[in-house]
Structure 1
């Protein structure tokens, strides 16, 4: 298992494709019951034919270390920066984020726009003033009620796993919620300052947003597209829900490859 130590935390990473000096594509997964495998088995392989790819498990997720604290979006954006410093120093990155991973990508891009070569967000959560409280309400539930809510929220992802794997994911989710400051960190999460993202449009950085037409975060996606201005391309997929990565994998793959190719060519 490949590991990177960054910012005092051990991260599980996977690298695909030929090593180059151009932009590196970083895939960021969702929260609690997700890990790098959701991107690994859907989009990462095809992307590695075009550019070097980096996948990693967020802190506390998958096979990465589970520290007690540091689960706010800002700290996870700092994790991303520290990992890039170790793996691809001096290189720009194309950031591809699904759900909560999209919020991490946004936060990093807002702080370090010069380090971003492209941005593709898939039904991304937006860390606004309601984000932390909404996530916290779900994760603060206890016992069977919480387990049922988590299972429903992640049914499209977990449903593709064996019983043994589902149980393992559920156990890791419970440990993450009960043994860390995840809920409190999300509750206290400030809104992302989108002002820094204006620099992406000024530099012609490709930005694509994909949202499900039946997703519960679609309106936040529309608001994000408006905030980013004309440089962001918003695509709404009719009938798709928040599980757009699974429901429209081919379309997501096409969008990611479009952003990557444009970033590599620029």
Structure 2
């Protein structure tokens, strides 16, 4: 395990693959997720051809868990610092984000467009006016209602693991939601304006599940981005990373290696 310190916080970071080539940075989802969701799926496939960086978001996995500082812009600054520590300052990257990781990838592209070569949003959450209130209403519940909401929201993710690991993941998720300002900070983060979205000039591949609960918002987002390509994955829900893993791996591999002869 490698550690990188950014803003006084320790982050768990993994580097895979060769030194040469366009780096690909994989971003995972919130609460119940960590870098392992990419480490055991697409990341090794991409690392056979290009450099790969994975890390646990603040408060997740093996990264340090502060009590506060979970706003979208806080996480953008985390990513910026991790790239500064891991890669040359002028190196542009491909960002591949699942769920909240897609939201974070787009936020980073808005803040640091000079560092981004392209985006791949895998059923990415959409930071619109409804996102914060919906998150606060669901994860801001108390007691048993809150624990049941966490379990329902992440039932597909939990179903891939043993009961012992499920219990540990659920306990960690509960501690993150109960013991930090994550819900409040993200809910109060300001979403990008339509004008800001229209200035995202890098290529964007937006992959959404046919039956995903965020599909319609993802379609609306893709329509606002000037250089976006939208693809709907048949039969999939928000958990398309697990429902069509092989198909997704091939699509990501082709996308991040485009125009450089690195598709495999």
Flag whether TM exceeds 0.5 (same fold).
yes
- How far is 1:198 from its partner? 4.8
Tell me the secondary structure at the aligned position of residue 257 of structure 2: helix
1:247 lines up with 2:243 in the alignment: yes
Structure 2 counterpart of 1:74: 73
- How far is 1:23 from its partner? 2.2
Structure 1 counterpart of 2:176: 176
1:112 lines up with 2:112 in the alignment: yes
5 Å-filtered alignment, 1:123-138, equals 123-138=123-138
Question: Whole-Å Cα distance in 2 between the matches of residues 136 and 250 of structure 1?
Answer: 34
- 203, 207, 229: which one pairs with 1:206? 203
Structure 1 counterpart of 2:40: 41
Runs (4+) of structure 1 exceeding 6 A deviation are: none
Question: Whole-Å Cα distance in 2 between the matches of residues 186 and 6 of structure 1?
Answer: 20
Tell me the secondary structure at the aligned position of residue 258 of structure 2: helix
Question: Whole-Å Cα distance in 2 between the matches of residues 50 and 98 of structure 1?
Answer: 21
State whether residues 158 and 166 of structure 1, in contact with CA within 8 Å, keep that contact through their aligned partners in structure 2.
Answer: yes
- How far is 1:145 from its partner? 1.8
Tell me the secondary structure at the aligned position of residue 210 of structure 1: strand
Question: Whole-Å Cα distance in 2 between the matches of residues 131 and 197 of structure 1?
Answer: 16
Q: Figure out how many residues of one structure are paired with residues of the other and give that number.
A: 261
State whether residues 36 and 62 of structure 1, in contact with CA within 8 Å, keep that contact through their aligned partners in structure 2.
Answer: yes
State whether residues 119 and 207 of structure 1, in contact with CA within 8 Å, keep that contact through their aligned partners in structure 2.
Answer: yes
TM score, norm. by length of structure 1 = 0.93
- How far is 1:124 from its partner? 0.5
Q: What's the Cα RMSD here?
A: 1.6
Structure 1 counterpart of 2:142: 142
Question: Whole-Å Cα distance in 2 between the matches of residues 173 and 40 of structure 1?
Answer: 20
Question: Whole-Å Cα distance in 2 between the matches of residues 13 and 193 of structure 1?
Answer: 32
1:175-215 deviation digits (Å, cap 9, x = unpaired): 111111111112211112464555553xxx43200001111
State whether residues 26 and 95 of structure 2, in contact with CA within 8 Å, keep that contact through their aligned partners in structure 1.
Answer: yes
Structure 1 counterpart of 2:216: 219
Of residues 137-146 and 10-19 in structure 1, the stretch that sits farther from structure 2 once superposed is 137-146
TM score, norm. by length of structure 2 = 0.94
State whether residues 138 and 146 of structure 2, in contact with CA within 8 Å, keep that contact through their aligned partners in structure 1.
Answer: yes
1:208-235 deviation digits (Å, cap 9, x = unpaired): 0000111111111111111113x21100
Question: Whole-Å Cα distance in 2 between the matches of residues 160 and 31 of structure 1?
Answer: 17
**Structure 2, unpaired ranges of 5+:** none
**Structure 1, unpaired ranges of 5+:** none
Question: Whole-Å Cα distance in 2 between the matches of residues 198 and 192 of structure 1?
Answer: 10
State whether residues 18 and 49 of structure 2, in contact with CA within 8 Å, keep that contact through their aligned partners in structure 1.
Answer: no
